[in-house]
Chain A
Amino acid sequence: MNLREAKFSVIDLETTGLNLLKDEILSIAIVPMKGTKIMAGESYYTFVKPSNYDLKSMKFHGIDPKTLKQAPSFSEISEEVRERIEDSIIVGHAVEIDLNFLKKAFKAQGIELNNKSIDIALLEKWLCDRLGERKCTADLSLDALIRDYNLSMRFRHDALADAFLTAQIFQIQLLKLMKYGLTSVERVLSAIESTKMSRIDFIF
Chain B
Amino acid sequence: MTSPPKEFMRRIKPFSFLTEDELNLLVDNLDVEAYEKGSTIVKKGKQSKYIFLVFSGVVGLYDDDTLVDTASKGEIFGILSAITGNPFSLSAIAMDDTICYRIKKEAFNKVFEKNPKFSAFFSTFINRRFRSFTNLLKETEGAFQEEIYLTRVKEIVTKDPVVCEPNTSIEEAARIMLEKNVGSIVVVDQGKAVGILTDHDLKRVLISGDKNAKVTEFMNSPVITVNADQPVFEAYLTLINKGINYIVVVDNGRVEGVITSKDILTQFEPSSSLIALYRKIRKANSMDELKSHLAGIRKAVAGLAMKGVHFYELSRMITSVYDSTVVRVIKMVEEDFKKDGITLPDYVWIHVGSSGRKEQIIATDQDNCLIRSADEDEKLMIEFAKKVNEALDYIGIPKCTANYMASNPKWNLSLEDWKANFEKWFTSLTGENIRYLSVFLDMRPIYGDQKLYLALLDHIKSNITNQAIRFLALDATSIEPPIGFFGIKGLEKGLDIKLHGIYPIANGVRVLALDNKILDTTNTRERLERLSEMGVLSDERAREVLESYEFLQELRLKRQSAAVSAGSEGDNVIRLENIDRIDAYVLKEALKIVSSFQNFIRGKYRIESGF
Interface residues of A (CB under 8 A from B): 36-41, 43, 45, 150-151, 153-155, 158, 160-161, 164-165, 167-168, 171-172, 174-175, 178-179
Q: Is the CB of B34 within 8 A of A172?
A: yes
Residue contact B34 to A175, C-beta cutoff 8 Å: yes
Are B2 and A171 touching (Cβ within 8 A)?
A: no
Q: How many A-B residue pairs have CB under 8 A?
A: 60
**Across the interface, do B34 and A171 meet the contact criterion of CB distance under 8 Å?**
yes
**Is A37 a contact partner of B1 (Cβ separation < 8 A)?**
no
| A37 and B32 contact, Cβ closer than 8 Å, known pairs A153-B7, A161-B4, A164-B5 | yes
Smallest beta-carbon distance B53→chain A, Å = 12
Minimum Cβ distance to chain B for residue A116 (Å): 21
CA distance A155 to B34 in the complex (A): 24
Q: Which residues of B contact A174 (CB under 8 A)?
A: 34
**Given A37-B31, A168-B99, A43:B36 Cβ within 8 A:** no
A159 to B34, CA, bound (A): 23
- The listed residue (A40, A150, A175) touching B5 by CB distance below 8 A is A40
Taking A41-B27, A172-B34 as known contacts, 5 extra A-B pairs with beta carbons closer than 8 A to each other, sorted by chain A number, are: A37-B32, A41-B104, A43-B3, A161-B3, A174-B34
Q: Are B32 and A38 in contact (CB under 8 A)?
A: yes
Task: Tell me which residues from 555 to 597 in chain B have a Cβ below 8 Å from any Cβ of chain A.
Answer: none
A29's closest neighbor in chain B, by CB? Answer: B3
Q: Mark B145-167, 1 if CB is under 8 A from A, else 0.
A: 00000000000000000000000
CB distance from B20 to the nearest CB of A (A): 15
Q: Find chain A residues with CB under 8 A from B27 CB.
A: 40-41
The 9 closest A-B pairs by CB, nearest first: A38-B32, A36-B34, A40-B30, A41-B28, A164-B4, A171-B34, A37-B33, A39-B31, A41-B30
Given A38-B31, A171-B99, A175-B97, answer yes or no on A165-B4 (Cβ-Cβ < 8 Å): yes
* Inter-subunit contact B7/A41 (CB<8 Å): no
A150 to B8, CA, bound (A): 12
A153, B32: Cα distance in complex, Å: 16
Which residues of chain B come closer than 8 Å to A172, judged between CB atoms?
Answer: 34, 97, 99
Residues in chain A near residue B104, CB distance under 8 A: 41
Whether A150 touches B56, Cβ cut-off 8 Å, given contacts A41-B27, A171-B99, is yes
Determine whether the beta carbon of A41 is less than 8 Å from that of B31: yes
Nearest CB of chain B from residue A63's CB, rounded to whole Å: 12
Q: Which chain B residues have a beta carbon within 8 Å of chain A's beta carbons?
A: 1-5, 7-8, 27-34, 36, 56, 97, 99, 101, 104
Smallest CB separation, A33 vs chain B (Å):
9
Whether A40 pairs with B7 at a CB distance below 8 angstroms is no
Residues of chain A within 8 A (CB-CB) of B4 are 151, 153, 161, 164-165, 168
* A178 CB contact (under 8 Å) in B2, B30, B33, B36: B36
- Closest residue on chain B to residue A172 by CB atoms: B34
Answer whether A160 and B1 are a contact pair too, CB < 8 Å, given A154-B7, A155-B7: yes
A154 to B2, CA, bound (A): 11
CA of A102 to CA of B27, assembled, Å: 27
Q: How far is the CA of A171 from the CA of B30 in the complex (A)?
A: 15
A152 to chain B, nearest CB (A): 10
**Is B36 in contact with A179, judged by CB distance below 8 angstroms?**
yes
Q: How far is the CA of A45 from the CA of B1 in the complex (A)?
A: 10
A–B complex contacts, Cβ < 8 Å, 8 sampled: A36-B33, A40-B3, A40-B5, A41-B30, A160-B3, A161-B4, A171-B34, A175-B34
A158 with B2: in contact, given A171-B99, A175-B36 (CB under 8 Å)?
yes
CA distance A45 to B2 in the complex (A): 11
Complexed CA–CA distance, A178 and B35 (Å): 11
Q: Complex formed: what's the CA distance from A65 to B97 in Å?
A: 43
By beta carbon, the residue of chain B nearest A178 is B36
**Which residues in A have their C-beta under 8 angstroms from that of B36?**
175, 178-179
The closest CB in chain B to the CB of A149 belongs to: B56
Q: Which of B3, B29, B56 interacts with A164 by CB under 8 Å?
A: B3
Across-interface contacts of A40 in B (CB, < 8 A): 3, 5, 27, 30-32, 101
Give A193 Cβ to nearest chain B Cβ, in Å.
25
| Residues of B with C-beta under 8 A to A167 | 32
Q: Could you say which of B2, B29, B33, B56 contacts A41, with CB atoms under 8 Å apart?
A: B29
Q: Across the interface, which residues of B come within 8 angstroms of A38, CB to CB? A: 31-33
Give B41 Cβ to nearest chain A Cβ, in Å: 13
B29 partner residues in chain A, CB cutoff 8 A: 41
* A155 contacts across to B, CB distance below 8 A: 2, 7
Residues of A within 8 A of B3 (CB): 40, 43, 160-161, 164
Tell me the smallest distance from the CB of B23 to a CB of chain A, in Å.
12
Q: Which of B33, B34, B36, B97 has the most chain A CB atoms closer than 10 A to its own CB?
A: B34
Cα of A36 to Cα of B97 in the assembled complex, Å: 12
With CB as the reference atom, state the residue of chain B lying closest to A43: B3
How many Å lie between the Cα of A115 and that of B8 in the bound state? 32
CB pair A168–B2 under 8 Å, yes or no, is no
B32 and A171 form a contact (CB under 8 A): yes
Assembly CA distance A167 to B5 (angstroms): 12
In the complex, what distance in Å separates the CA atom of A43 from the CA atom of B3? 10
Nearest CB of A to B10, in Å: 10
Most buried by A among B4, B31, B104: B4
Nearest chain A CB to B190 CB, angstrom units: 47
A43–B27 alpha-carbon span in the complex (Å)? 10
Complex CA gap A172/B33 in Å reads 10
Chain B hits for A41, CB < 8 A: 27-31, 104
Closest to B34 in A: A36
Distance between A117 CB and nearest chain B CB, rounded to angstroms: 21
Q: How far is the CA of A40 from the CA of B8 in the complex (A)?
A: 13
Task: Name A150's closest neighbour in chain B (CB-CB).
Answer: B56
CB closest chain-B residue, reference A32? B31
Please measure, in the bound complex, the distance between the C-alpha atom of A130 and the C-alpha atom of B36, giving whole angstroms: 19
Residue of A nearest to B98 (CB): A175
> Given the complex of chains A and B, what is the CA–CA distance between A151 and B36 in angstroms?
18
**In chain B, what residue has the closest Cβ to A165?**
B4
CB distance from B101 to the nearest CB of A (A): 8
Complex Cα spacing A41 to B101, Å: 11
CB-CB nearest in chain B for A37:
B33
- A31 shortest CB reach to chain B, Å: 9
Q: State A171–B5 Cα separation when bound (angstroms).
A: 15
